[in-house]
Amino acid sequence: MNSYASQFRAIVGEDFDPSRDLGAEQTRALSALIFGMPEMQITRDGFFIQYEGWSYDQDIYLSVTVTDDHKSGARALCEPNFALDQDIAAS
């Protein structure tokens, strides 16, 4: 079984720059990956949808913001849970 982190990297590429937008194919694949995670949340904000998923077994958090037609995506993240906890505590 591939980890969620390795599947994320397979979709976006090893040299992924989080500030770069994703194409339609990557957007759909990443949304589907997150949708299949054990814990997930979908948030709508105007023309955008944010998919967030967690796997406590793999200690990983994935997120992507996509246009409502799934033709592009932005702000894709792949973070260990503990890093998010540190970011939240520092806020």
Give per-residue pLDDT as tens, 22-57. Answer: 888 998 899 999 999 999 999 998 889 999 999 988
- Predicted confidence at residue 73, as pLDDT, reads 82
Question: Does position 84 have pLDDT exceeding 70, yes or no?
Answer: no
Of 54, 51, 43, nearest to 82 by C-alpha is 54
Residues 6+ apart with CB under 8 A from 31: 51, 64, 66, 70, 73
Cα separation, 60 vs 68, in Å, equals 25
Give per-residue pLDDT as tens, 66-81. Answer: 888 877 888 888 888 7
